[in-house]
Structure 1
Amino acid sequence: MGNPVQSSAPPAESLTVRDNRTGKIYTIPITNNTVPATAFKAMAAPRKPGEREENETDKGLRVADKGFLNTAVIQSTITYIDGEAGVLRYRGYPIEQLALHSSHLETAYLLLYGQLPTRDQFRLFEKEVMHHSAVHADAETFFRSFRYDAHPMAMLTSAFAYLGSYYSEANPSLQGQTLYTRSTKAALENMDKQIYRIIGKATTLAAMAYRVRQGRDFVIPPPGLSYTSQFLYLMDHMGQEDYKPSPVLAKALDVLFLLHADHELNASCTTVLQTGSSLVDPYSAVAAGCASLYGPLHGGANEAVIRMLISIGKPENVPAFLDAVKRREKVLSGFGHRVYKTSDPRSFIIRRTADEVFKVAGKDELLETAMALHDAAIKDDFFVSRRLAPNVDFWSGLIYRAMGFPLDFFPVLFAVPRVVGWLAHWRQMMMQQGGVKIWRPRQVYVGAGKRDYVPVEQREAVRGLKVEPAAIPHSGISKRTELADYKGKSKL
């Protein structure tokens, strides 16, 4: 986008900045309503007497943006969000239309390749994805190595990284760093093969994480089922003949997967791109995305909604709970969003989907509490003025609970469809003009200035939890060992 230049007649599509420290005037071009952050590096000034050298004033301005509140790190053609208007579009298509007419795998094709497929194109894509749903027999040993009570997200995160060890042709560290950045037929075919594998095996790995927790044998993916029907089969089949999962539940899961497939540069997608910018293999990048999604501020939000509703209990307890939220004694989960400042467009679609599930699975006992909380919060000026409207997590947790999924499996049900969005953004970055540059954010250093090393006997202790490691009390074998005497025992 260019560097700033001094100009007496700046173009209309530009930003004029006067640096009052030096009196210099800079003209910064505006492209697609953005200005290049690197333009500010030219705005250097002499250091003032006594100023910290760590400010690097003479090396140009840095742009501080804690938490990436207004920093664009990549150009994308995939997903558009207007948080003020409550708009979500995949490749230009409104999410409402896709949820009504499309399917998760068709939408996956759209996100990955930019267009809705023809019937033949989709047939090929679906065939390849489903063909790659089977995993190596060694995967059973891998999953059995986890503790009986291991969290399924921990297993899934590890499984994606483990999966990459099987495919040396997918690893730029082994095949050369231009493995995916070359725009050749062979490079694109290799990239697509890894995409088929990851999307196809995502449900299988998730189902294996589920079944190992249930103490069940693993199931081979059957032919002839849809993506979500096969997922339900892999989780639930216990040897029954001609077992077919409920079409209502499979359809509901498909809609939920479609809605969760992508959401622009959220925390997990950004993690995938940050990791992928080192040109690591896509399996490792997806594993990093899973680790990010694991957090309660991201993929664990729908689980938090259910725990909140359980803690509220009955509908008559809602007013007292909301009063506690206003006093900052409680946390309101499932309302508000980092991007959306009005209603989350996905929440309306999920609400309709919930009704379909409740018809066959029965109403969740927490539904009346959820409805009471929903109705009270959207009419309360305290929450309305803060733009805290229901988001996608408020209803999805109720659907998953009605389907019989355990709470700690909810993040897995988020991760499985989200691999599609991660891969779409990863593919786009690998193919971008100019190649891939490793992401390396700047920091604002406010720590100590230069100081000299002090020998240990001359140091004074600095006390406090924030500046020294905590002493942890031990019990059991550790305590008994501390009381024992043995050769080489530390005298500290």
Structure 2
Amino acid sequence: MSPTSSNSLTVIDNRNGKKYVIPISTTAHDSAIAASAFKDIVHERENGEKQGLRVTDRGFLNTAVIQSSITFIDGDKGILRYRGYPIEQLAESSTFLESAYLLIWGELPTKSQYSLFHDEVMNHSTTHVDTEEIFRSFRYDAHPMSILTSVFAALGSYYPEANPSLQGQTLFTKQTQSAIENMDKQIYRLIGKAPTLAAMAYRVRQGRHFITPPPGLSYTGSFLYQMDCLGQQDFKPNPVLERALDTLFLLHADHELNASTTTVLQAASSLTDPYSAISNSFVCIVRDAHRSSQYTVSVVFCGANEAVIRMLISIGSPDKVPEFIEQVKKREKVLSGFGHRVYKTTDPRSYIIRKTADEVFKVTGKDPLVETAMRLHDVALKDEYFVKRNLYPNVDFWAASGLIYKAMGFPLDFFPVLFAVPRVVGWVAHWRQMMLSPDGVKIWRPRQIYVGPSVRDYSPIEDRDEVDRKKVTDAPTAVFHSGQSKRTQLASYIGKRSKL
């Protein structure tokens, strides 16, 4: 590239005065430079070797790892589009499965295309009878997301034809007719079995028998049937709740490279099977990867919308909202459901969900927490403290997904499952895009900045001096033992290890 090119970045290394010209690639929406270009800007290491500069970006705040045509987000303007279609239009006119087709194959389907996709998904919703034993092996109080993480990983063992370790590493990347057909079959299986496995996780904790997916119902209708039917004749889920769940599923189907999707792609870049790659993503959901600032809550083993409900319960009533707001400002309390890593204005999905909530409440009755939520919403939006920090309600606040799910009778710890089931679509869409990349699949291997000790010589254990640890993290901590564990420690037996 010419040094005078306007489509470039000029970098001057002030350590030696050298000048570097780095090309800028531009698309309709973004401009970017290749981080690898900085490898030409070298520095001398302590051992005399020369090494190129590395780009640090803790938390991937401004690092693009792929090019994607699936989901577009403009956080400053509050825009979300699936393959170019505004989320508002899809939520109004489309369905979850139609939008799933759009996300995966890039275009809205014709009638025949949709019919094939719908039928394949629904036909692949049944599971092997052995999976029932996996579910029943968990404790009665096991978190449903722990169950699903394990079951999705185990699912791959039933389909050896989908395992690149057994069939060859180019199983999904060679793009032959048979490879594409194999890929599509796994996509049908994953989307079809997601609600079935979720319903099984729901029922196993209640000691109920599992239900075979019924024919003739919609995707969300079948899901509700499998969770709720207790043998009643001609059982049909309420159509308002069925449609509401379909809308929520559509809104949650994809959201670009969030933590869970990135985890899928990180694993998939090693060319593992899709079931193993997707099972990894569940742990990102239950650990609330949606916190965006120090003012939003971080909840272990709990979805973000579940955290909103717990916060509203803790507030108690609308009249206590001002007191809670002041405690948040003093950092004595945490505020859930406001702020987002991407959106700097109101999340576009929140309006749709609020409308959906009104429809659901007409059937179920309004949850008392709604009044508290409304007051919190209004007070926070008028408070300069939150406005200056761009802390607007996000999808998890008016996902009232929390308030809707609660009104529909779902337990709090099942909320993350209701997020994960539709997100399987986004995961497989990004997985498929990666496998079909014209540039091939390159394993994701981030670099680090080493800050540890320089070279040291090993010394035998008897020659080492006791060192005062400056921090509790500098050495292992002792665990308190009681009960049988303590009695066992005090007992004598053959093979017991003596203390050094």
Q: Which position in structure 1 is the counterpart of 2:5?
A: 11
2:236 paired residue number:
244
User: How do 1:177-256 residues align onto structure 2 when only pairs under 5 Å count?
Assistant: 177-256=169-248
The aligned residue for residue 24 of structure 2 is 30
Does 2:455 align with 1:450? yes
Kindly indicate whether residue 307 of structure 2 is the aligned counterpart of residue 304 of structure 1: yes
| Distance (whole Å) between structure 1 residues aligned to residue 92 and residue 464 of structure 2 | 69
Aligned-pair CA distance for 1:487: 1.9
Matched AA of 1:443? Q
Question: Residues 152 and 278 of structure 2 are in contact (CA less than 8 Å); yes or no, is this contact kept in structure 1?
Answer: yes
Confirm or deny: 8 A CA contact 1:256 1:350 kept in the other structure. yes
Aligned pairs for 1:145-160 (under 5 A) are 145-160=137-152
Q: Once the two structures are superposed, what CA deviation does each residue of 1:374-412 show, in whole Å capped at 9, x if it has no partner?
A: 110011000000000000001210100000000000000
| Residue number in structure 2 paired with 1:424 | 429
The amino acid across from 2:5 in the alignment is P
Question: Which of 249, 253, 260 is 1:257 aligned to?
Answer: 249
Counterpart of 1:86, as a letter, is: G
1:41 aligns with 2:39: yes
The structural deviation recorded for 1:10 is 2.4
Q: Is the 8 A contact 2:44 2:51 kept in 1?
A: no
| 2:70 paired residue among 61, 75, 78 | 78
SS of corresponding position for 1:399: helix
Per-residue CA distance 1:27-86 (angstroms, 9 max, x = gap): 111112100000000011345xxxx45xx9821100000000000000000000000000
Aligned to 1:359: 362
Whole-Å separation in 2 of the counterparts to 1:45 and 1:480: 59
Is it true that 1:381 corresponds to 2:384 in the alignment? yes
Choose from 490, 493, 496 the match for 1:489: 496
1:470 aligns with 2:462: no
Provide the secondary structure at the position in 2 that maps to 1:214: coil
Deviation at 1:490, TM superposition (A): 2.1
SS class of match (2:42): coil
CA contact (8 A) 1:153 1:411 kept: yes
TM-score, normalisation: structure 1: 0.96
Would you say 1:372 and 2:364 are equivalent positions? no
Where does the alignment leave 5 or more consecutive residues of structure 1 unmatched?
none
1:276 aligns with 268
1:134 and 2:137 equivalent?
no
Q: Equivalents in 2 of 1:263, 1:470: separation in Å?
A: 40
What TM-score does the superposition give when structure 2 sets the normalisation length? Answer: 0.94
Which residue of 1 is the match for residue 332 of structure 2? 329
Separation in 1 of the partners of 2:494 and 2:176? 64
Residue pair 1:22, 1:45 contacting (<8 A) in 2 also? no
1: CA distance between counterparts of 2:33 and 2:435?
A: 23
Deviation at residue 294 of structure 1 after TM alignment: 1.7
Segments of 5+ residues of structure 2 without an aligned counterpart are: 291-301
Aligned to 1:21: 15
Amino acid at match of 2:258: N
Query: Which residue in the other structure is 1:405 paired with?
Result: 410
CA distance in 2, matches of 1:207, 1:168: 25
Mapped to 1, the partners of 2:76 and 2:433 lie a distance apart of: 26
In the alignment, is the contact (CA less than 8 A) between 1:103 and 1:255 conserved in 2? Answer: yes
8 A contact 2:135–2:204 mirrored in 1? yes
Give the conservation status (yes or no) of the 8 Å contact 1:44–1:57: no
CA RMSD of aligned residues (A): 1.1
For the 8 Å contact 1:21–1:45, the answer to whether it is kept is no
The Cα of 1:457 is off from its aligned counterpart by 1.3
Mapping of 1:99-118 within 5 angstroms?
99-118=91-110
Matched, 1:65 2:65: no
The answer as to whether partners of 2:259 and 2:289 remain within 8 angstroms in 1 is no
Match among 77, 83, 88 for residue 96 of structure 1: 88
Confirm or deny: 8 A CA contact 2:76 2:343 kept in the other structure. Answer: yes
* Distance in 2 of aligned mates of 1:292 and 1:353: 26
Helix, strand or coil: the match of 1:27? strand
Note the C-alpha offset of 1:368: 0.6
In the alignment, does 2:172 pair up with 1:176?
no
Partner of 1:290: 282
Cα deviation digits, residues 417-465 of structure 1 (max 9, x gap): 0010010000000000121010000111111111111211121234242
SS of aligned partner of 1:165: helix
Question: Does the residue aligned with 2:234 lie in a helix, a strand or coil?
Answer: coil
Q: Tell me, in whole angstroms, the C-alpha distance in 1 between the residues paired with 2:21 and 2:428.
A: 37
For 1:27, give the aligned amino acid: V
Per the TM alignment, residue 163 of structure 1 is displaced from its structure 2 partner at its CA by: 0.6
Alpha-carbon offset, residue 491 of structure 1:
2.1
The total of aligned residue pairs comes to: 480
Tell me, in whole angstroms, the C-alpha distance in 1 between the residues paired with 2:81 and 2:245: 20
3-state SS of 2:128 partner = coil
Match of residue 343 from structure 1: 346
